[in-house]
Amino acid sequence: MKKIKIKRKEGISRMKKLFTLLVALTVTGCSSTYYKSYKTSDKGTLVVNAYTDKGCVRKLYERGDRLDLEVELKKVQPTLLGYKCIGSTTKLSAGS
């Protein structure tokens, strides 16, 4: 049987890449939120992530309130680390 040798530098490089990937996945797992508005109207899309489906819906409406947006829930999707909620938004008028 032939032994395969991995150079030490190559092994360390692979470990660094794996560690960086794990840290990135852990840090960004369920904390991302983004809002995209459409330039031609007051409509947009709000997306949030959370560990539970109820928490995801609650977080969606809380973020909408914070951004002064009216949110309509469109979709709740399970993800690897929790749930992703997508809502369509409309900017609230100044009189509301």
Per-residue model confidence as pLDDT tens digits over 27-64: 444 556 777 777 667 788 999 999 899 999 999 999 99
pLDDT at position 40: 66
Q: Is the pLDDT confidence value at 16 over 90?
A: no
Region class of 82: left (phi > 0), else alpha (psi between -120 and 50), else beta = left
C-alpha 60/C-alpha 48 separation (Å) is 6
For residue 24, CA distances in Å to 27, 49, 79, 93 come to 5, 15, 16, 38
**pLDDT band (50, 70, 90) for residue 84:** very high
11/79: higher pLDDT:
79
